[in-house]
Amino acid sequence: MAERKPIESWLTDMDGVLIHEGTPIPGADAFIKRLRESGKPFLVLTNNSIYTPRDLQARLSRMGLDVPVENIWTSALATAKFLDDQRPGGTAYVIGEAGLTTALHDIGYVLTDHEPDYVVLGETRTYSFEAMTKAVRLINAGARFICTNPDETGPSTEGPLPATGAVAALITKATGKQPYFAGKPNPLMMRTGLNAIGAHSETSAMIGDRMDTDVLAGLEAGMQTFLVLTGLTTERDTEKFPYRPTKTVASIKDLVDLV
C-alpha cells in the first residue's frame, strides 16, 4: 500500500465534532487554535443550510471558537456553486432560510415562482403545506429539483425534527422526481470546498461524527477520514458499513497533535 501523504489541510464537520447542542466539545477550541496557528488551510462544514457563514461565525464565536467566515462551508454554498456552474444567472423557487437565499442571491440568481429553472429545497423550521404544494406543481411543470442535503432528521433540544431529506421524500412521492443532493455525502461538497481553499484531496483529511455522510463523503473525495465518537455514530455502528474511516478516535481532542 502506498504511504499516505502528510495532511496539509483539514475539513471538519461542525455539529457532533466541534459543538453539541449549543456547547463546545472539549478540545474543539484547542483544535481550532492549532489550525489557525499552523497556517494550514481548513474548513468547518455543515449540511445545515439555514444559516449564512456570518451567522455561524457569530454562533461559534459565542462558544469561544474563533473561526473566520471564509473558513465556513455550508450545503447552501455548495448548492449555489453547483447551480452557478450548471446554469449561471438562472432562476429558482426556494424553500429555505437566509443561508440558502443569500447564497443564491450572491451568485446572481433570481428567486421566483414564475417558471423557475429550479426548485431548490433547503432546511427551514417552518415548512408549509402551501410552499410544498407549489414546489410539486413547479416540478411537474418542468422545474429541475435540487436539494441542499439528504439528512432526514435534524437535532433539537426537544428531540429529532423532520429535515430536508424527509420533505424531499414527500415531494418525490408527489412528483415521481428524485432531487439532486448537493450536500454531504455528495463528494461535490468536499471538492468545491477544497477548491475554495486551494487544497488537494490527497493531502487533506475529513473529520466527522457520521459514517453515512462525513466519512463517506471524505472517502469518495479521496481524503483521509477521521471518525469521532462525540456525535451520532458509536464504535459498534461502524461495523454495519462496508467502508471504514482511516482512524476512529474518541473526540476532536485526540486530533490536536496531528495538526
Phi then psi for 41, rounded to 5 degrees? -60, 140
Neighbouring residues of 41: CB distance < 8 A, sequence distance ≥ 6: 8, 9, 10, 197, 198, 199
184 vs 223: CA distance, rounded Å: 14
Cα distances from 41 to residues 76, 89, 99, 227, in angstroms, run: 21, 30, 23, 20
Residue 254 catalytic?
no
> Do residues 259 and 40 make contact, with C-beta atoms less than 8 angstroms apart?
yes
41 vs 183: CA distance, rounded Å: 20
147 vs 177: CA distance, rounded Å: 12
60 vs 129: CA distance, rounded Å: 33
Cell numbers given for 2 = 502506498
State the burial class of residue 157 (Cβ atoms within 10 Å of its Cβ: 0-12, 13-18, 19+).
exposed
H helices of 107-181, in order, are: 129-140, 164-175
The one catalytic residue among 13, 117, 151, 214: 13
93 vs 133: CA distance, rounded Å: 12
Residue 209 catalytic?
no
The residues carrying an active-site annotation are: 13, 15
